[in-house]
Amino acid sequence: MNQHHIEVKVCAKTFAENIRQIRDRVSPAKICVVMKANAYGHGLKVLAPHAIKAGADYIGICTNPEAATLRNLGLEIKLMRLRMGFPDEFEESLNGLNIEEQVGSIEAAEYLSREGCKRGKKVPVHLNIDTGMGRSGFFSNEVDAIAKVCNLPGLEIVGIMTHFATADSEELDFTRKQIKEFYRLRDTLKNNLPPSVLTHTHNSAATVRLTPHCNSLVRVGAACYGVRTSRNFANFSPLKPVMSVKTKVAQVRNVPPGRTIGYGKLFTTQRQSRIASLPVGFGEGYPRSLFNKGVVLIRGHRCPVVGRVSLNITTVDITDIPEEVTWGDEAVLVGCQGNEEITFEELADRFESVHTEINLMAGFMNQVSYRTS
């Protein structure tokens, strides 16, 4: 049974068009559409076929259930795991999920090589080089270890990659340092790598802000969903948001000055006020930390969130709306209304987080509806 007071819409047509725009921008490089964490909350099962039709060469996932979802749909597209894996995950992948693994340690590489030799079929892997992200992978000075991996008999080296730590920062000096370090290592390893090896460094931020350099593949997530990864830059103009989140006004109250609103008495009315209650809170995925910081669109006006965001109720000040606001009126949490718009990025900036956190929350909001036009 659907919730009657929450509407989360995802436009598959916009998603596909964003991918086509990115393809045109990076051509002739291939594109890996990152769809981990249920496609950033947008719906992996529904959107994956649209990604493929729009020209995705790879889909980036993290978990075996994500891969199984795609294989159960009959999709044979190449899958790339975007984190280090475990032996039990490798076993499932080798038995039918066919995930191209990310390898950043001798232990993982030797394990996969043994499994490949045992099965009589080389395992496709991408070498993960740590040039500054600091989370996983071979350090760029571990040349001998990486060369050893390249020559393990049970592996097929299909890619060599790194991940940028600050491509969404105002300054790109560190990103350029990572690029230089990565390509220096790749050139050193040239005789150990197959001529067809895919080189990939660029995430969404780098793809939007920098040329693909010598990349033969880019890994884009946020940009495909029409969101930017930082306040320091804007996406190129054709990219549009894929998701919107709306609710309804549950009650309007006239509140005298001097009254407190919500848990903790974090807001006190300074004037005769009209306060609208919305039937959405952090239980539905609207961030609790947006108290006294968030904004909602009602009748085309930007209305501030006042007081603590509760489990299932959020209160907003509608005093400055000249029109009458009534029970059941539309309230836009993310999206457009009239001439105004609230983006995931704006909300993330307001409580010092990232758009992905709110995307994921929205994706858990009960019933998501999809449209293709």
- Which of the residues are catalytic? 36, 263
> Sign of the CA dihedral 147, 151, 152, 156?
positive
Backbone dihedral angles phi then psi of residue 9, each to the nearest 5 degrees: -110, 135
CA end-to-end distance (rounded Å), the chain = 25
For the CA atoms of 299, 302, 304, 310, the dihedral, rounded to the nearest 10 degrees, stands at 60
| Contact residues for 86 (Cβ-Cβ < 8 A; gap 6+) | none
| Closest to 131 (Cα-Cα) out of 75, 184, 80 | 184
C-alpha angle with apex 12: 11 to 17, nearest 5 degrees?
105
Q: How many residues does the chain have?
A: 373
> CA 107 to CA 91: how far, in whole Å?
15
Query: Distances in Å between the alpha carbon of 148 and those of 112, 197, 233, 262?
Result: 14, 16, 40, 61
Element (H, E) at 75: none
Neighbouring C-beta atoms of residue 363, cutoff 10 Å? 21
Distance of CA 335 to the CA centre of its chain: 17
| Contact residues for 199 (Cβ-Cβ < 8 A; gap 6+) | 159, 160, 161, 186, 214, 215, 216, 217
> CA 67 to CA 61: how far, in whole Å?
7
Whether 60 and 198 have beta carbons less than 8 Å apart is answered as no
Q: Which amino acid is at 55?
A: G
Residue burial 254-274, b: 16+ Cβ < 10 Å; e: rest: ebeeeeebbeeeebebeeebb
> CA 326 to CA 115: how far, in whole Å?
65
Q: Which amino acid is at 30?
A: K
